Structure 1
Amino acid sequence: MSSPATAAPSTRLRPRALAAWLFVCAALVLTMVAVGGITRLTESGLSITEWKPVTGAIPPLTQADWQAEFDLYKATGEYRNVTGPAGMDLAAFKFIFFWEWFHRLLGRLLGLVFALPLAWFWVRGAIPAGYKPRLVALLLLGGLQGAFGWFMVRSGLSGEMTDVSHFWLSIHLLTALFTLAGLVWTALDLRQVARGNAVPARLTRLSLVVAAVLFVQLLLGAWVAGLNAGLVSDTWPLMFGRFVPDANWSRGVWWTFAHDPFWLHFLHRWWAFAAAAGLIVLARRVKPLERRASIAINAAVGTQILLGIATVMSGVALWLAVAHQLVGALLVATLSWGAHVLGRHRA
């Protein structure tokens, strides 16, 4: 029979292993966000018109299978009104199919990488008290994310739609980012458990305010992406030689704020600085407690603003836009880190 002194190290290692596993899952979410950005920017999202959670993991293997998938795509409004008249052939279809298939494959992989170790840790009794509900909630969020992804695709398959709903796109993206923040926060809590501090961090008022401001910016960014509003202007800081562009107000204030690409581009362009200011304030509060977290927040903020400007001025160059989306996700992760530092010291 082992003594408490010899049993303690293995007990401490379990939270560390859980934390490492959650960080791996967070890295996969970041990869999915980047691939999702490529999928969106290459107009690949509607290339797979059916949702097959299991058999869909296998791509078409024969020429006949490829032609059958292409025929299904030809029935979409996007093909009839956009890609078809532009002369899309089977080779071009295979390119967009690959990105949508790869994005869905990563989603399946992430589900397995989360669910299987969770079951193993559960059976082994390696999960600290109070963490099982949180881990199950993260698992459910992942499943919900997949469902939202299909609802998003389905929204672009009806009638003469040539794209997915920007509302569903924002729900899909923001759920992924919320899950990312939860993974990082929970991993950091488990690291504290491994160090002998079993008190979870608490969300502070400042962190909530900054998170709310960043949420608005991320929502605007998702709507800009969904409406291709990034393409309406390739100049910065002015749009068409003006600070405030013309917007269509004839259909009401709500429609303009939720649908007008010029107005949404303008809001996303300048609300970024409100989000940056909030994050910089948070970073300053974090700096005396954990300098690395403060540096990470400031670096992500500066990089994101520069990438946003570069993306606009390049006419939404693919890799700049993907990098912009990826660093946006990293910004969420660093916010979660900084907020956890403040919440840990408060707790």
Structure 2
Amino acid sequence: MRLSVVDLGLVAPGGDEKQALADSVRFAAHVERLGFHRIWFAEHHANAMGASHHPELLIAAVGARTSRIRVGSGAVLMNHYSPFKVAEMFKQLEAMFPGRVDLGMGRATAGPVIDLALQRDRENPAHADHLQQVAETVLWLHGGFPDDHPFAGPRLMASVPEVPQTWLLGSSPGGSDLAAGLGIGYTFAGFINPQSAAPALRAYRERFRPRGFGLSGPRAILGVNVTVAETEHEAERLVGSAKAYYARLRRGRFDTLVPSADEAARELTPSERDEPTSIAAGRWPRFIAGDPDQVRATLERMAAESGADEIMIQNMIAEPADRHRSHELLATAFGLRTAGP
């Protein structure tokens, strides 16, 4: 089973966004050496927690410093952008790093202020049609507009035959129908909506129809939040940072960093601290934590229940050294091939 990573540009306790971006570039080289298949970068605007605001910039920086790992977006928020702009941007990235670029597309609000700030026309802000945005982007990339369409003429970088892989990212079952109908890859954010993940991924596989956009059959990724340490106890301590971050959001602290594990231990209530980190009574957890054998068993069960071809790891381990070590332990548990020193 393939393992991949989505990176948030996490700002370490006591650090800043400049350090976080440098950490992201180093982290990408690290997971490439460990044998992870791809690394995607998030899009979060005006968010103190992470420095990955525009994934295209990190894709370019990391693509230039790596040689094998696929690089992509997890995700470009299509409700804010022109499909032509997104398609042309990722076609150029594909030209720079042939055979290695993924365009992951999604949608999300950044809050009313930032949503408005991202609009060109503030007096008449657009209400994006998600299906149209995604479909139009795919058609630009593949030159798929019908002859009588106004966009049928121009071709994006016609001298470059390579096309980035296209993926739809979602956290609700509805997205599976869109990805299946367009015949593109589908990624489900199980760390947001764990109980809907397996049904959505199974539905995508059942309904997938090839459309000539690069896939002859379904390709499904399950995104999960994973923390691995040498012991179960240490993993539970480290995953407290993620639990405490979301607890802060529930309490209205939206402009907050991810706390250190020690801060988290002081903040969490007993019920928050004891939230399950493995499958319990058939219910998937939001956060997976444990020693390498425990985590591998959980991920293998999730892949079997959902039919996922690949697992994409997200986490909020506060300290970069602990985050690097978590991925080392996971790579070893799954027998990934380490490339080079």
Which is richer in strand?
2
User: Which structure carries more relative contact order (alpha carbon 8 Å, separation 6+)?
Assistant: 1
Tell me which structure has the larger Cα radius of gyration: 1
- Same fold by TM-score greater than 0.5: no
Name the TM tier (shorter chain). under 0.3
Which is richer in helix?
1
User: TM-score, normalization: structure 2?
Assistant: 0.25
